[in-house]
Amino acid sequence: MAVQEEIEQKSFNIMISTTKLSARTVLRAVKAAFRLYQSKASQGKQSVRTLLRQNRGVSSVEISKTGIRGLERYAKKYGIDYAIRKDTSEVPPRYLVFFKAPDVEAFNAAFKEYSVSLLSKTKRPSVLAKLHKLVQAAAELPGKVHRKEQERGL
């Protein structure tokens, strides 16, 4: 019986040690997944609270509602973390963009590209205006009207 008890004791010890080992492994995996989630979650658009929790310098700039989408594209391109806050205390609400860039040059480059894109949009004539000009030009043409008639083949 002593041999049987010794075998049971050793198998019981092996079960306990493997359970501890697997628990440690699972705990390490959960910690690694949590760190990965935190690193991915704190990039790009986020809440102001999350942005401030990162303990780095946060700056803000005011933009119009129509410019938010364009700014988001350039912020992603340059890896800028940002948060958008709507200030409803004024009648046309203001939109404040809080940002945290890896360095000042990245933010300057992103904002410069964003500004250039806004200026180029304002300089371009609208498609609707071009269409109205073409309609007026077509109406001023002499009375030649070309009509296509389908022929039916039997």
Model confidence pLDDT, tens digit, residues 128-149: 888 888 888 888 877 655 566 6
Q: What is the pLDDT of residue 102?
A: 62
Who contacts 43 (Cβ-Cβ below 8 Å, separation ≥6)?
79, 81
Q: Is the pTM of this model over 0.75?
A: no
Q: What is the pLDDT of residue 146?
A: 58
Q: What would the mean pLDDT of 67-82 be, rounded to a whole number?
A: 78
Helix, coil or strand: residue 2: helix
Burial of 71 (0-12, 13-18, 19+ CB in 10 A): buried
Q: What is the pLDDT of residue 124?
A: 77
Integer Cα distance of 148 and 154 in angstroms: 19
Measured in residues, the chain has a length of 154
Over residues 102-116, the pLDDT tens digits come to: 667 877 888 888 888
Q: Which of 36-40, 89-93, 106-110, 135-139 has the lowest mean pLDDT?
A: 36-40
Phi and psi torsions of 79, nearest 5°: 70, 40
User: In this structure, are strands 81-87 and 59-63 parallel, antiparallel, or unpaired?
Assistant: unpaired
Who contacts 93 (Cβ-Cβ below 8 Å, separation ≥6)?
65, 86, 87
Q: Which two tokens stand for residue 58?
A: 């946060």
